[in-house]
Amino acid sequence: MKRIETVILKNLLKNEPFLRKAIAYLKNDYFNESRAEQIIFEEINKYVNKYKSPPSIDALIIAIGNRSGVFESDIKEIDGILSIIGKDTSEDQSDWIDDQTEKFCQDRALYNAIHESIQIMDGKGDKDKGSIPDLLTKALSVSFDPNVGHDYLENTDERYEYYHRTSTKYRFHVDKFNLATNGGVEAKTLNVFLAGPKVGKSLIMCSLAAGFMEAGLDVLYITLEMAEEKISQRIDANLLDVPIKELNLLSKEEYDHKITRMKTKVKGKLIVKEYPTASANVLHFRALMNELLLKKKFKPKIVFIDYLNICTSSRLKLGSSVNSYSYVKSICEELRGFAVEFNLPLFSATQLTRAGYKNSDPEMDDTSESFGLPATVDELWAVTSTDELKAINRLAFKKLATRSSDVSENKRWVTGVNYGKMKIYDAEEDEPGLVNDGYQQITRSKTNDKLRTMLENIDSETGEIIN
């Protein structure tokens, strides 16, 4: 019976369109069940890389004859395979051979990944167990991609459709964020809050998570800083509309009643997963996504990771040869790749430098540990909370980097904050906060003079602070 490997080798030699499509996806170790087939493929691959065309059978025989380490038993088997290929004049239907070769690549990639995983479990090789999910994910994602790029002159229709296509955006429950992001956050983006310690990074992310749940979206909240129960407690305070300090005063009957009422208006689901600080990276998060899909049929639309700097990198190990700039940048790149892979918006947070924490108007260079972070993220928002802002329950936001809109438009805004109920919300126009054109303005005379002066010294055209 003819083997699929022989059919693939035949088409690599006799079917040039197939060769050009398939050669990039075939690997030497996919043919490791037969040393003879592996030698033939290796020589075909070498020839194609050098001459950019398929070899003749005669050229192949000469190349194999000049190869060292080929035994007489190998030559006998190789001659038999090439004899079958040379006599076979049939033409395989193009779609059929494409499908069969893709399936062959997928099966062999998965087999090899499982074999390597077993070796890792036995303590062989230089990889650790954390690399196993990535090995299996890559094997399962093997496929032939028919797209070889965008032809500028030929693909004008596709380009025109792109200009008029409405991208999927996820709207925030706080309209000031919708203004700042030109209608909401997009999938495949990494969105980061930049703030000092104890300013409210987790509060903001918990509030946004609750808002997305109320909008009917499924949310995954990964925490490396607080316990799962602490995050869930903050979500409870928000959605049950009960101050966090009073949750433990509710009777079981009262608590269950509020949960039942909340479920009638909140259609989205929430999973909170805790990892120890500085112990998890995208390999763990990817494995979690796959496990949630298999065990709970849960596929989140939004992911929060609390927070970026206490993740680890799956590629680099922090040490003498890797500084914090490279390490944090690597984490950012991996998280953004995760967002693209799973087609979702990912929210996280990072710390301000000590100087930035004292600055009421932080800039990108106030990002702690790595300036590579602002260069990688899609949206970067600075958050400040002065004594004056706290006195009137406000948080100030500033757009530092964006790919969704003009960075100078709707650059600054203020939201209301309820620290007890873990909520941020749109400030009413008759309250101190954001009004009209999207910049910070103060309209009530009882507001602290220092705060009014700070906010009024913002140029209405550029949004920049006037010295």
Q: Which domains does the chain have, with CATH numbers?
A: 4-140 (1.10.860.10), 169-456 (3.40.50.300)
Q: What's the Rg (C-alpha) of the chain? A: 29
Under 8 Å CB-to-CB from 334, ≥6 apart: which residues? 281, 282, 313, 314, 315
Q: What is the pLDDT of residue 269?
A: 96
Q: What is the pLDDT of residue 434?
A: 38
Query: Residue-wise pLDDT tens for the chain (467 aa)?
Result: 678 999 999 999 999 989 988 998 899 999 988 999 999 999 999 999 999 899 999 999 999 999 988 898 889 999 999 999 999 888 888 889 999 999 999 999 999 999 889 988 888 877 777 778 778 877 877 777 666 678 888 889 888 887 776 667 899 999 999 999 989 999 999 999 999 888 999 999 999 999 999 999 999 999 999 999 999 999 999 999 999 999 999 999 999 999 999 999 999 999 999 999 999 999 999 999 989 998 899 999 999 999 899 999 988 887 767 888 888 899 999 999 999 999 999 999 998 877 666 667 888 877 877 777 888 899 999 999 888 889 999 999 999 999 888 888 889 999 999 999 999 999 864 444 433 333 344 333 334 454 555 555 555 444 444 54
- Burial degree of 252 (CB within 10 A; 0-12, 13-18, 19+): exposed
CB 36 within 8 A of CB 78: yes
Q: How far apart are CA 304 and CA 212, in angstroms?
A: 11
Residue 286 CA to chain centroid, in angstroms?
A: 9
Q: How far apart are CA 257 and CA 38, in angstroms?
A: 67
Q: What is the pLDDT of residue 442?
A: 35
CA end-to-end distance (rounded Å), the chain: 83
Q: How far apart are CA 208 and CA 187, in angstroms?
A: 16
Q: How far apart are CA 351 and CA 357, in angstroms?
A: 9
b/e code 95-111 from CB counts within 10 Å (16+ = b): eebbebbbebbbebbbe
pTM of the model: 0.66
Q: What is the pLDDT of residue 440?
A: 40
